[in-house]
Amino acid sequence: MKQFIVILLLSSGFFFFSCITEYEPAGINEIKDILVVEGHITEGKTRITLSKSVNLSDRFAEIFVDDAIVFVECDDGTRIQADDGSRDGRYTIQTAKLDSLRKYRLKIEIAEVDFDSNECFMDEEEVLRCPRKTFEYCSDFSFPLKTPEIDSVFWMKEGKGHPIRIFAATQSPENDVPFYRWSFREDWEIAADVLSYWEEFQYPRICYGSSIGEGLIFGSGEKGDFGQAVNLITEVSPKDRKIERTYRITVYQNTISKRAHDYFANIKKNSPQTDNLFAPTPSDFRGNIICITDPRKPVIGYVDVSFTTQKQLYISDYSI
């Protein structure tokens, strides 16, 4: 932009001195402190993550929301609140079994500073002081979507030194192309690096680890050459200690609506520089969540409701 301005001035024959300020896209400061909701309502355990959007210059700021009241609400009035306590903005709701004939939605209550209040004032140090107010956010009521079973979870490897690529294959219903969301959990066992004096004369000490897959995979159930929808779930480096002895991956599959799929595809398309779906961006992405206390407050997120199917795969050191 600066180079273009200089070239334009030279070509016009005008020579003068001036101050040139850095260009800042309009609206870039408008994305700060917007509530970001990540999660999916399903039976068993519903996991929701709450955070706040940040400006590009504040990308290392603390953004998690740990003091919210989060619950799943049924259209019959039943409310299931998240377990007490949150870490890194993560909330777990014991939703048990969903009723396919009932509608469900996510509801969130957060005490925030109300900058629009008439009670705001400037103190003696010229700091703006405003009262706190409880804002309520909720998603649309939705019937749980049915989710087909996962046909298989399998792995492939091109050769020695290449990563193990893990796939999930699903048989989509006839005359229907659903949209899916996949997530996964990894569990593994490794031999301890250091043993105590007494353990050296016993069986080797085995350590266990687990993790929830970073990020989410979204795609359609469009059938491939073998009549199945096949999608890459994750890759494991051959140097990763996860596959040192026994490795297990549990793949979870949820059907999502086309609106949800298009929403996440739009977010992903506009955040190419990172794997984080909700990376800072000056655009305004609105899903199916609104602030019912103040509809003018923007919210980022799309929460669908569906049943979950899952399948596990074991990989042992002797098989790779």
> How does 24-52 read in b/e, with b if 16+ C-beta sit within 10 Å?
eeeeeeebeebbbbbbbbbeeebbbbbbb
Tokens representing 20?
């040139």
Using pLDDT thresholds of 50, 70 and 90, give the confidence band for residue 18.
very low
For the stretch 108-154, pLDDT in tens is 999 988 888 889 999 888 889 999 889 999 999 999 999 999 999 99
Q: Give every CB contact of residue 146 below 8 A, 6+ residues apart in sequence.
A: 100, 255, 306, 307
Task: Calculate ∠ Cα 112-113-114, nearest 5°.
Answer: 110
Distance spanning both ends of the chain, measured CA to CA: 53
Q: Is the pLDDT of residue 267 over 90?
A: no
Q: Work out the average pLDDT over 227-252.
A: 88
| Percent of the chain at pLDDT exceeding 70 | 72
Tokens representing 105?
């939605």
Q: Where are the beta strands (DSSP E) in 12-123?
A: 35-39, 44-52, 69-74, 79-81, 90-96, 104-113, 121-122
Q: What is the pTM of this model?
A: 0.75
The rounded distance, in Å, linking the Cα atoms of 70 and 77 is 15
